[in-house]
Amino acid sequence: MGERVKLELDGEIAVATLNRPEKLNALDTKTRMELAEVIEGIEEVARVLIITGSGKAFAAGADINELLQRDAIKAFEATKLGTDLFSRIEELEIPVIAAVNGYTLGGGCELAMACDIRIASEKAKFGQPEINLAIIPGAGGTQRLPRLVGLGMAKKLVLTGEIIDAQTALRIGLVEEVVEHERLMERAKEVAAKIIEKSPLAVKVAKKALNASINMPLKEGLRYEASLFALLFSSEDAKEGMRAFLEKRKPEFRGR
């Protein structure tokens, strides 16, 4: 494992920490490659992944010195690395929580948006400031942001390059929760622990259905949901969950 992304396991919770505080955890090529290595096989060792940053930033965008060296072909290749990485995070079978500790700009904001749940410190700042460099977001900023905050608000943020605080991010739907800075990781782990109590199979299927909802017409989505709902009735976990409820005891799920 490299030095730019630290991985720790706390029971069934994995914590990946971006570790370039002197560069505000800028997502250069090497950092993105290390993060890709970290998440490879993460589903085999953890039930929930938390991604956070060290120092004052979650991730403050790309490395500008690296951007300056690129022509169009190199820029496309580099942003494809980011796009593929963030899509892989979004498609992990386990839930991913972004514990947003500070500056979350450009590619950092795109990374946070690829996570399933975003919990922000009161000190967090968000933005897609690429327009200030005469470029645009290249790893999901123009695609995931409208899905989270609406098209009009996404246009405002992308076209102005405005940086917003955590409470504004909460109000517009960019994050799900804001907590005191000192409680950020504690709260992220509380949410992770609550998820871990559930059937791993049901969590996996629920995430798959929810991710599909933004890409399917309603009628098709409803049919897909119904098929997944019915499929779970063939699982041992579903039977255990229902029996435990009727017997007023804590269920013992086995993920099958």
Residue 10 has pLDDT above 80, yes or no: yes
- Rounded CA-CA distance 131/100 in Å is 23
Ordered DSSP codes for 133-165: GT----SSHHHHHHHHH-HHHHHHHHHH---EE
Asked which of 7-16, 77-86, 97-106, 196-205 is least confident by mean pLDDT, the reply is 77-86
Among positive and negative, which fits the CA dihedral 177, 183, 45, 87? positive
Average pLDDT, the chain: 94
Q: How is domain 5-196 classified at the CATH fold level?
A: 2-enoyl-CoA Hydratase; Chain A, domain 1 (3.90.226)
| Degrees to nearest 5, angle at CA 56 with 3 and 122 | 130
Report yes or no: 72 and 36 within 8 Å, Cβ to Cβ. Answer: no
Taking residue 226's Cβ as centre, other Cβ atoms within 10 Å add up to 11
- In sign, the C-alpha dihedral spanning 188, 193, 196, 202 is negative
Catalytic residues: 110, 130
pLDDT of 1 higher than 60: no
Average pLDDT over residues 105-127: 97
Residue 131 has pLDDT above 80, yes or no: yes
Confidence at residue 75, expressed as pLDDT on a 0 to 100 scale: 80
Between 71 and 153, name the one with better pLDDT: 153
Q: Is the pTM of this model over 0.85?
A: yes
Residues facing 177 on adjacent strands: 119
Buried b (16+ CB within 10 A) or exposed e, 139-167: bbbbebbbebbeeebbeebbeeeebbebe
Domains of the chain: which residue ranges? 5-196, 200-246
Tell the CATH topology of 200-246.
Lyase 2-enoyl-coa Hydratase; Chain  A, domain 2 (1.10.12)
Token match 């892989």: residue? 88
